[in-house]
Amino acid sequence: MIKLKNVSKFYYSKGVIASGFVKVNLEFNLGEFIAITGESGSGKTTLLNVIGGLDTYEEGEMYINGSETSHYVTKDWEKYRREYIGNIYQNFNLINSYTVYQNVELVLTLNGVSKKERKAKVLKLLEEVDLVKFKRTKVSKLSGGQKQRVAIARALAKDTPIILADEPTGNLDKKSALSIIKLLSEIAKEKLVIIVTHNYEQVEEYVTRKITMHDGKVLEDKKIKDYKQVTNYEKASLNNIKLIDKIHLGIRNTFNIIPKFILLFLVYAFIVVSLMTEYSAFRKEEYEASKDGYNYIFSNTDDKRIVIKKKDKTPFSTEEITKLKNAKNIDYVLENDFLVDQYFNMANDNNSLWVSGNISSLEFFKDKVDVGRLPKEANEIVIKGSKDDYYLGTKFEDLFNNTFYLSDDTGRPDKSFSIKIVGIKYLDDSIYEDYTLYFSKEVLDRLLFQTHERYSSVTIDFMGHYHEMTDYDNDYKIVVNENVSKGEAYIPEFFRLSCPNNNCFNCTLNISVKNIYFNSSKDLLMTKTYNKDNIDKVLHLDNYIKENFSNYDGMIYINKDDYNELFNKGTYQMSVFVDDYQNLESVVNYLEKNNYKTISIKDTLVNSGTLQIIKILKTVITGVLIIVMFFISYFVIRIILKSRNIYFSIIRMLGGTKKTAKDLLITELFVVSNIAYFVFVIIAYLQRIDILHINFIDTVNRYFVFKDYIILYVVVILMSYLISLKYANKLFKNSAMNTYREEM
């Protein structure tokens, strides 16, 4: 079965070579019960470990069933131990945190035996060693004799042809020792049993052969009695450990030693918190820097704003608008959103005080004012701006005590409608920004008349004379006036010079409107002309316009219905505002899936170099932090897991492969890292719903998006895997016995 020919084993330590045994020539057969004796240091245990494939040899040749083994590599020895060897150790080498059942079952699990088969076999073996009633007892609570019986049951579990026992009775009382020897002698009738012992008298009655060693050499190889040689035996049918069992063992190992689990959890929690804190801090700086950007088209650069239109460029229906208003994570929907991208001017009665700014709807003003009150009338507004501003900060009474009028781009005020400032809201920071003017819906509707033309190309065909109006046309303007009848147009008197016989009455004026969404055209009859003297009677305008007629003599006044037919063809563009910046991406995805084309305002801003610098710093510092955290965590985890090294050595000694031991280690650390990560995620969620109140997590919740959580998870899991891999490579670089010996 096994033959050693001139086999020698040497140890190398700090440049010194020591011999374990030298030039050993022995042969062992099935059916033998062999005792190896000798004083301490004679090489008995070393010989047993070489026979068992736990240790290598340097000289000679060892044959297994006639086959040489000198060419064996790690995988070959692993296969040999699995198929041929069952070990019983002097110090038991049981896993104290496992129960009796789990210790015996482990060897079967490592060799791919199904759960059902494992249960039946383990219970049978425990019955043979009289330990069934202790099957749920942790082995740490057993006596020495009971532990040795567990070790024997475990050695028999694989049903291998060779049982190797190193001082199996060394720690037992006489009665327990005798029962163990009797049990081994019964086993030897069908297997090869080799024991190492200092107490030969204890086994003399049972052994068939005695080998005596001294100073690494065999002094005596004596036959004690005849034995029946076994020639036929079936090699155990073994498979690789199943994936589900590997996962189950890894999870069991995670929690079987609570102090170890807590320490590992704290290490991974430190990794998660450190990376998340650092990354979210940079995301905050990145976010703040991005808000400082500007855009030449969109004046309202709210980071929660998304401009949308339909992909087919048709107008939004009432049902579509309602659906958007009720959609998840959408705070509000702003129709005719181009109003908020306009810069409007207001001046008091004598033009001594001007107020300019972007506009918004009072419907969306959800704050409390810092000075004054909220509007009650349609013509009352609130202003938001910096407290450091001259008027808002110290002269707000001047704003409250004046009446203002909206002005167009040329500075012409609309005296038909007055505005009162009644409230002021200060920005959260002191950085100066333009005012935001919050108007009622009535005022916004009036402003539509002023802004529609800015987004369209408007052409006037007057008796074959074409005039294309520009955004800031100082000569001509189309103005709505309620005194003009539908289908008619009131024109300046000087237009008659282009009419036949200077008579424009009932002549046709054509207005054409063209923009990216629609084209429209309308013929209007010119029924009245106005001049400086009659403008107040024809159009019922105030004296201010009469007194400043030169600024208004190019106005073409039409009816509101006609104006709407030209310009108000429906809502083609809107803005949706998300309830939280974090939800921006999910809302964009929702809109895109529902056939809307989107522009996130935050992506349109032109930023200074500060944002790019922050992004570069974030990448570099995060990378450095990950590397530093990796090595710190590795050394800490290595210290924590040092007590577990014997466990992984035992796994290999029981027939588990190096890969299996490595996978168990990876699984264990993977479970702990996942627990640490998801505990933090749960804490962040509890903070979000106001159950917990931890300051730094507020920053995480505010600036972390779903993608960031995924990135962090991948980084943590990858770090866990690499730490496991690095540690496993170090731990398993030696033979199973060398690794075990180092840890002992």
Q: What is the pLDDT of residues 721-743, one digit of tens each?
A: 999 888 888 777 655 545 544 44
Per-residue model confidence (pLDDT) at position 743: 45
Per-residue model confidence (pLDDT) at position 410: 59
Mean pLDDT of the chain: 86
The values of phi and psi at residue 31, to 5°, are 100, -15
Per-residue model confidence (pLDDT) at position 484: 93
Cα distance between residue 599 and residue 308, in whole Å: 6
Q: What is the pLDDT of residues 514-568, one digit of tens each?
A: 988 889 999 999 999 888 888 888 888 777 777 778 777 888 899 989 998 898 8
CATH superfamily, domain 2-238, is P-loop containing nucleotide triphosphate hydrolases (3.40.50.300)
DSSP string spanning 377-398?
Answer: STTEEEEEE-TTSHHHHT-HHH
Place 570 in a pLDDT band, splitting at 50, 70 and 90.
confident
Cα distance between residue 596 and residue 421, in whole Å: 37
Q: What is the pLDDT of residues 417-450, one digit of tens each?
A: 789 999 999 987 655 567 889 998 888 877 776 6
Per-residue model confidence (pLDDT) at position 75: 85
Cα distance between residue 477 and residue 557, in whole Å: 8
Cα distance between residue 236 and residue 82, in whole Å: 9
CB atoms within 10 A of CB 291: 15
Cα distance between residue 348 and residue 614, in whole Å: 44
Cα-based distances in Å from 629 to 266, 267, 320, 722, 723:
13, 10, 50, 12, 11
Cα distance between residue 505 and residue 502, in whole Å: 9
Per-residue model confidence (pLDDT) at position 744: 45
- What average pLDDT does this structure show over 67-80? 89
CB distance 357 to 383 below 8 Å: yes
Q: How far is CA 431 from the centre of its chain?
A: 34
List the domain boundaries for the chain: 2-238, 246-287+610-743, 293-335+573-606, 337-442, 457-567
Residue 72 CB-density burial (10 A; 0-12 exposed, 13-18 middle, 19+ buried): middle
CB distance 341 to 573 below 8 Å: no
Q: In what order do the strands lie in the sheet with 573-578?
A: 330-335, 573-578, 305-310, 596-600
CB distance 379 to 418 below 8 Å: yes
CB distance 381 to 375 below 8 Å: yes
CB distance 480 to 557 below 8 Å: yes
Structure token pair of residue 605: 């801003």
CB distance 683 to 689 below 8 Å: no
For residue 175, pLDDT over 90 is answered with: no
Cα distance between residue 392 and residue 374, in whole Å: 16
Give this prediction's pTM.
0.64
Place 235 in a pLDDT band, splitting at 50, 70 and 90.
low
421 CB contacts (<8 Å, ≥6 apart)?
355, 372, 380, 381, 382, 383, 399, 400, 402, 404
Per-residue model confidence (pLDDT) at position 505: 85
CB distance 161 to 1 below 8 Å: yes
For residue 301, pLDDT over 60 is answered with: yes
Q: In what order do the strands lie in the sheet with 59-64?
A: 16-28, 2-13, 59-64, 67-68
Length of the chain: 744
Structure token pair of residue 213: 């060693």
Per-residue model confidence (pLDDT) at position 742: 46
Express as a percent the part of the chain with pLDDT over 90. Answer: 34
Per-residue model confidence (pLDDT) at position 369: 92
Structure token pair of residue 713: 């998870």
Cα distance between residue 568 and residue 342, in whole Å: 18
Q: How far is CA 425 from the centre of its chain?
A: 38
Per-residue model confidence (pLDDT) at position 607: 67
Q: Which residues pair with 457 in a beta bridge?
A: 514
Per-residue model confidence (pLDDT) at position 740: 47
Per-residue model confidence (pLDDT) at position 374: 93
3-state SS track over 515-536:
CCCCEEEEEEEEEEEECCCCHH
Beta strand 330-335 pairing with 371-372? unpaired
CB distance 444 to 351 below 8 Å: no
For residue 471, pLDDT over 60 is answered with: no
Per-residue model confidence (pLDDT) at position 432: 59
Place 345 in a pLDDT band, splitting at 50, 70 and 90.
confident
Angle CA(449)–CA(450)–CA(455) in degrees, nearest 5? Answer: 95
Gyration radius (Cα) of the chain, Å: 45
Q: What is the pLDDT of residues 263-292, one digit of tens each?
A: 999 999 999 998 888 888 888 777 777 777
Cα distance between residue 113 and residue 586, in whole Å: 48
What letter does residue 304 receive in the DSSP assignment? Answer: T
Cα distance between residue 603 and residue 601, in whole Å: 5
CB distance 305 to 297 below 8 Å: no
CB atoms within 10 A of CB 86: 27
- In 3-state terms the chain splits into helix, strand, coil percentages (rounded to 5) of 45, 25, 30
Q: Which residues pair with 12 in a beta bridge?
A: 17
Q: What is the pLDDT of residues 83-129, one digit of tens each?
A: 888 888 878 889 988 999 999 999 889 888 888 889 999 999 999 88
Cα distance between residue 530 and residue 699, in whole Å: 63
Please name the residue that has the structure tokens 């796994």: 651
Cα distance between residue 661 and residue 31, in whole Å: 33
Where are the extended beta strands (E) located within 297-393?
305-310, 330-335, 343-348, 354-361, 371-372, 380-385
- What average pLDDT does this structure show over 147-156? 88
Cα distance between residue 275 and residue 379, in whole Å: 52
Q: In what order do the strands lie in the sheet with 507-514?
A: 465-469, 457-462, 507-514, 519-530, 488-492, 555-558, 477-480
Q: Which residues pair with 178 in a beta bridge?
A: none
Cα distance between residue 662 and residue 724, in whole Å: 8
- What average pLDDT does this structure show over 50-72? 92
Per-residue model confidence (pLDDT) at position 367: 85
Q: How far is CA 277 from the centre of its chain?
A: 14
